Amino acid sequence: MHYLEKTESGLLLMDKAFADGSSTVAFCGRNDAIVKMALEILPQKPNRVLVLGCGPYELWTTAGQQQIVEGNATIIGVDRSEQITSINQTIKHSGQQELTKIEEVIGNPVFGQEKKHKTSTQLIKDSAITGVELGEKEIKVDEANRNRVQIAPPSDAIDFIAQQEDKKFSLIFSGNLENNMLFQPSYSRERGIKFHRDIIRLLQQKGVYVYTTNEIFFNDIDLTNPRNVRGILRDSGLDILYKATQYTHVLQRNGHWVVTEDCGILSARQGDYDCLPNFGKAIETVRQRLDRYKDSFQYTEGYGTLDQLQEAIVNGQTNIAVVKTASDKYHWFNIQGVYSEVFPELAQIGDGFYPDLF
């Protein structure tokens, strides 16, 4: 499941989500920017937020988001891991946890992170998270933040959402959980569609579902492939409002150079949003940040239907950002070239291709 390319410095290994759980990028703050963006497009303050596959960090950083604090929402977190659930319960009751205890379960959250990339502390600051303090040895969470959080017993995400009431949540966030689902032997296209239809059932009017996945699954040109995220969302009844690659850079793992590439997707029930609120600002932000790298690569912009976007991906194959601008109308940014060749090249540009598009 990995793409390999020989380079002068050795091997480049294309990260396909490390679905075995040994992710090199499971660190505090990595998904908060896309959650912040999702919260900001909601037409009213959120009242209930569900975090699926919550891990040891994102319950607390989500509870510290400005939109949550101002609305005093309840955050419900569920993880299938009994160890993760125990860690979260410790934080809930004591307000702190040693990082070594967390690393025993998920690995070192800063493994491979070089000084030239943003630290967890900086990522939390950028997203204006309050109530969470990350030190060298422990994470601390204040009482107000902890009071917003409810921790469900360990449960598989598919089983959990099947048991929840209709129209219960303003926002559902699943982080990297979908990538892990894609690699389960029992995963099928039908199962993926049912999962997302359950998500739709749980969302309140104009609710948002947000998650992260790998760019390669968005680039798969076979819409019938069970790992094609566009095909699954479309046939489930979810519209993509915004999608962008957050970073592509090189980490070291087991003596190899690893290309990591991660994209965040905001989606909502078809018909709830004709466009992404403030889509013009989002497009301009993407354009400005891609322009920083214009000396290293060329990108094109396109505008049209989702089918026309599909054609652009088939022809160009490498896609960076998609913004919904009207009913069945999208604006996209496309870097021309074969995905498996372009992304290793982007990862080696200076300090790594780091467009920070969320």
Farthest-apart Cα atoms in the chain, separation: 55
C-alpha dihedral sign at 253, 53, 262, 108: negative
Instruction: Output the pTM of the full model.
Output: 0.92
- With the CA atoms of 187, 192, 198 and 200 taken in that order, what torsion angle do they form, in degrees rounded to the nearest 10? 160
What are the structural domains of the chain? Answer: 1-16+214-220+243-358 (no CATH), 20-211 (3.40.50.150)
Residue 61 pLDDT: 96
How crowded is the C-beta side of 66, counted as CA atoms within 13 Å?
A: 11
At CA 169, angle to CA 196 and CA 68, rounded to 5? 125
Residue 87 pLDDT: 96
**Edge to edge, what strands does the sheet with 138-141 contain?**
96-98, 138-141, 132-134
Residue 1 pLDDT: 39
Residue 341 pLDDT: 83
Residue 35 pLDDT: 95
Residue numbers of the chain with a pLDDT score lower than 70: 1-26, 107-117, 252-255, 350-351
Residue 199 pLDDT: 97
Residue 117 pLDDT: 60
Distance in angstroms (rounded) separating the CA atoms of residues 254 and 259:
13
Distance in angstroms (rounded) separating the CA atoms of residues 127 and 295:
29
